[in-house]
Every structure is written in C-alpha cells, then in structure tokens.
Amino acid sequence: MQSDWIWGLFGGGIIGTAAAIFLLVNGRIMGASGIIGGLVDGSGRSDWAERAALLAGLFIVPAIVAIAMGGSETHLTDNWVVVAIAGLLVGVGTRLANGCTSGHGVCGISRLSLRGIVATVFYIGAGGLTIVIFKHLLGVI
C-alpha cells in the first residue's frame, strides 16, 4: 500500500523515541533480545524488575491498541515445525551475537558502532538468502 512507508516512518519514530528515553533516563540500551535473554538465562538478575516492566509494556500496549483497531494479524505461517526452528535460531543467534534488530540495528547503527553495522549486514544477508532458498527454490515457506 502507498501509505505503508508513512506508517513505517511514524512507527519507527516512536520506536526510536522509546529507545532514546530508555538511554537518556535509565542509561540503558533498548535491545529486545538482551532484555529477554538476561531474564531467562539469569544474567540480568540485578535489574530483573526493569526488564520485566519493559516486556510487560511491550506486550500489553500493542494488545490494547490491536483490540481498539479491531484486531491485528501477524500472517505467521501455520507450519509449527518451521516456526519452532525459526524461534530456536532467533533465540540462539541473537544471544550469541549479543543483539538483534533493536540492539544492533536501531541502537548500534545510530551510534555508528562497527559491531552493530556488521551484525545488521549479516542478519539481513542471511535473511535474504533464507527467503531465496526456502521460498523461491524449495517452496517451503
């Protein structure tokens, strides 16, 4: 749709504002995988309440807004095996790399971090290659 990029820019601005507040007020980097990972592997025990509160907001606010908008769709595949493998890869990969789209992408690139830029090049490259292989060549997704 034509207006998609406007919503993208607007929504992106809200995401960046959230990350800016988290940095300037709490002094922390808004990286989703680091915040979740620190809770589930025990490495973020000292500030668990802040992590849990951020995740609660991340879950509750879109839930309410989606209801207000009359529902929302993820269009996620029904193939449980693909979804489970994808989830495992995202979980292991983001923790090995120490960041995902928000941490390396938004927060890393915006401070011109070489690690953030290189990580982003590799995850977008691997994602593009995955689409070529599993969608166009094998037709699995």
Q: Which of residues 77-116 bind other proteins (CB under 8 A)?
A: 77-80, 82-98, 100-102, 104-111, 113-116
By beta-carbon proximity to other proteins, the closer residue of 26 and 45 is 26
Place of tokens 């509160």: 53
Cβ neighbours of residue 73 under 8 Å, at least 6 residues apart? none
Question: Using the rule CB under 8 A, which residue among 58, 70, 138, 139 binds other proteins?
Answer: 58
Q: Please, what is the minimum distance in Å from the beta carbon of residue 56 to other proteins?
A: 6
Q: Does 45 bind other proteins (CB under 8 A)?
A: no
Phi and psi based region of residue 94 (left: phi greater than 0; alpha: psi -120 to 50; beta: remaining): alpha
Binding-site size, other proteins (CB under 8 A): 110
50 binds other proteins (CB under 8 A): yes
Residue 114: which of 106, 104, 101 has the closest Cα? Answer: 104
Choosing from 46, 49, 138, 139, the residue that interacts with other proteins (CB under 8 A) is: 49
Among 2, 46, 138, 141, binds other proteins (CB under 8 A): 141
d(CA 130, CA 141): 10
Binding mask 15-34 for other proteins (x = CB under 8 A): xxxxxxxxxxxxxxxx-xx-
Question: 48-68 and 32-40 helices cross at what angle (nearest 10)?
Answer: 120
